[in-house]
Amino acid sequence: VDAVTVTILGATGSIGTSALDVMARHPGRFRVRALTGHRNIGLLAQQCRRFRPELAVVADAQAASALREQLGAACGDIQILYGEDGLEYAAGSGADITVAAIVGAAGLRPALRAVADGGRILLANKESLVMAGALFMDAVARSGATLLPLDSEHNAVFQCLPGNFSRARPVDSGVTRVLLTASGGPFRATPRSELEQVTPEQACAHPNWSMGRKISVDSATLMNKGLEVIEASWLFGIDADHLDVVVHPQSIVHSLVEYVDGTMLAQMSNPDMRTPIAHALGWPERLEAGVTPLDLVGLGRLDFGAPDHDRFPCLGLAYQALRAGGSAPAVLNAANEEAVSAFLDQCLPFTGIATVIETALECAETVDLTGIDALLAVDGAARRVARDAIARAGAAQ
């Protein structure tokens, strides 16, 4: 049989490297079509030498020549492209599987391009569903693409849903509720009075997962869970009233589905992204992922609790945006990206992230998103409001 061709958008990131790690365990089964990075040219060069893609994409012309130089003779017939056009070309290069693992709004256009191609999309870039859920799911329906979630919670839900699950009418499948688990992040037990002072390094030191910096901060504010609630509503066609969050510090139960007969199905595994990645790469088959099996007796116990909305207002803001619908989640996402980046640059205190998002949501009128141009206008306006709020917060310090 022919090898399955795979394109990885965001190959140099945490998800991208885990995906390549799983693929390397199955030589002959997968062949890399395209790898995209942005600034990490050293790592992309290493990946190109090892996986021999047909195509590699980087941020700009300078990065492209740096990659060519690093590869030297090893460049061989690897085509090197750059910029947004290069990304779109890679996303539309007709691979059987495209892993969408660019971080943030930058991942939207390439993900939509891959969806239009109609293959299998493994979605890690949750921001694109939060920004453009309706447009994204319409595009999936139109092209007939197979959309599989890589996010561990959504992959868990996918595994716990019945085979005949209907996205349009989940209740008919007997599903009454979806519960997303949250680790609670590095500040789960931090008193409110200390949150003002926490540093980017503390925020990025997640107790259970090793991830990129942006999603690590999102996990610390619980905005990651908020984005995931919105992501789940689009992926599974479930409204806010049927989506709950439960704090589970061990990150062993990755999410649960409740049924009308009282059954609750959970997916469990060690917190290692190679499990959901292997699931989606191999689906409907199961692939070996290099992951340590669960030792239940060694674990001894699993704990569950309610999220603290007082200390972590971002989760409530995400529910608010989901309920408002239309452009509100796009505003939430844009303001969050600006606020997180300001926090990482030490221009905004940790507790300012929620304040900036709240301001952006208050200032924006909720409209219907008719297309990608309308979306980009909303995104741009929300970023301007957020940057003003960040500048005011900085001036007040």
Residue closest to ligand NDP, measured at CB: 13
In the bound state with ligand NDP, the residue whose beta carbon lies nearer, of 103 and 131, is: 103
- Scanning 12-20, 141-149, 233-241, 379-387 for contacts with ligand NDP by CB under 6 A, the matching segment is 12-20
User: In whole angstroms, what is the distance from residue 137 CA to residue 115 CA?
Assistant: 9
Task: Give the tokens for residue 372.
Answer: 């990608």
By CB under 6 A, name the one of 48, 103, 156, 364 that touches ligand NDP. 103
Cα 140 → chain centroid: 17
Q: Which residues contact 240 (CB under 8 A, 6 or more apart)?
A: 229, 233, 319, 322, 323
Restricted to residues 138-197, the positions that interact with Mg ion (CB under 5 A) are 151-153
Q: Say whether 188 sits in a helix, a strand or coil.
A: coil
- Scanning 118-126, 137-145, 246-254, 283-291 for contacts with ligand NDP by CB under 6 A, the matching segment is 118-126
Task: Give the tokens for residue 160.
Answer: 């716990």
101 binds ligand NDP per the rule CB under 6 A: yes
125 binds ligand NDP per the rule CB under 6 A: yes
- How many C-beta atoms surround the C-beta of residue 373 within 10 A? 9
211 binds ligand NDP per the rule CB under 6 A: yes
User: In whole angstroms, what is the distance from residue 332 CA to residue 349 CA?
Assistant: 18
319 binds ligand NDP per the rule CB under 6 A: no
User: In whole angstroms, what is the distance from residue 397 CA to residue 392 CA?
Assistant: 9
User: In whole angstroms, what is the distance from residue 241 CA to residue 232 CA?
Assistant: 12
Burial class, 88, CB count within 10 angstroms (exposed 0-12 / middle 13-18 / buried 19+): middle
In the bound state with ligand NDP, the residue whose beta carbon lies nearer, of 98 and 125, is: 125
Report what 209 binds from ligand NDP, Mg ion, none; CB cut-off 5-8 Å by kind. Answer: ligand NDP
Binding residues for NADPH, by number, are 12-15, 39-40, 125, 127, 212
Binding residues, by number, are 12-15, 39-40, 125-127, 151-153, 183, 206, 212, 219, 224-225, 228
Q: Which residues bind ligand NDP (CB under 6 A)?
A: 10-16, 37-40, 101-103, 106, 124-127, 151, 209, 211-212, 215, 273
